[in-house]
Amino acid sequence: MTTDEELNLLDSQLRRLKIEYEIFFSNPTKRPPTDIEWRVLSLLRKFSDGTRMSFSQRYRYNEMAQRYAIYSDLWRKKSRIREEGYRRPQDALLSVQGVRPEEHEPEHKVYGVSRVAEVAAAAAVVEEKPFSVECSDTRAERDRVEKLYKALAVAKEKAGEAVSGNLDSFTSFVQKKTDQIRKQYGCHSVQYSVEMQDGHVRLKAKAKV
């Protein structure tokens, strides 16, 4: 099995694990999905060093590991509430509805993943004000494009919209768009922003002199 195939399997298992935990918390007689979680953890451990992955594969792995960190922290809290009973009104709400990932940074790190807070912060920023970066050459500004892609992906996930393409294809798109706008307006750089408009996530580009 190739690395991409194993990452696909990890993504599939993580999605299934989330569903199984939702069923578990809604059914008092249901057992926790420990077997599926064990498979997810095994794959996370396998790729934790990132040495066998390309940049895009490593980025994808980090996103899934961060997602698991957020989910597992929530599941642990809900399990504790389920075992100990509801002590506060908000405990009952948490047990039924869950919480938004951006409101709760996991209390523990998962296999070297240290950017969960950054993802959560990006989600909060999109709600409060548009996330924006300036680009003139994506080849030399890879970190800016990565942050822009992350903010766009987080915003779309929060809005229930699908994220199309990977970081590499997004980088190519941004470079073409940047070259086009710089040529059209004779500007030095282009400002990209992730905004909510009419309930949908939009990526906007603006010429910057």
DSSP code per residue over 162-201? ---S-HHHHHHHHHHHHHHHHHHH--SEEEEEEEEETTEE
Same domain, 35 and 73: yes
Tell me the mean pLDDT in the region 70-87: 74
Whether 9 shows a pLDDT value over 90: the answer reads yes
- What does the pLDDT look like over 101-136, one tens digit per residue? 434 444 444 444 444 444 444 444 444 457 888 988
Same domain, 106 and 3: yes
d(CA 153, CA 56): 14
Last residue of one domain, picked from the residues 64, 96, 114: 114
d(CA 200, CA 163): 12
Same domain, 59 and 140: no
User: What is the model's pTM?
Assistant: 0.45
Same domain, 137 and 93: no
Question: What percent of the chain has pLDDT above 90?
Answer: 13
Same domain, 143 and 196: yes
- What does the pLDDT look like over 158-193, one tens digit per residue? 777 777 778 888 888 999 999 999 988 888 899 999
Last residue of one domain, picked from the residues 114, 149, 174: 114
Domain count, the chain: 2
- What does the pLDDT look like over 141-155, one tens digit per residue? 888 888 888 888 887
Tell me, what's the pLDDT at 16?
92
Identify the sign of the CA torsion 197, 201, 203, 208.
positive
Same domain, 127 and 209: yes
Tokens of 149: 């892609």
Structure letter (DSSP) for residue 110: B
Task: Give one word for 63, left, alpha or beta, with left for phi > 0 and alpha for psi -120 to 50.
Answer: alpha
Tell me, what's the pLDDT at 77?
81
Same domain, 99 and 159: no
Q: Which amino acid is at 132?
A: S
For 65, the domain range is: 1-114
Last residue of one domain, picked from the residues 114, 146, 166: 114
Same domain, 16 and 42: yes
Distance of CA 208 to the CA centre of its chain: 29
Same domain, 135 and 105: no
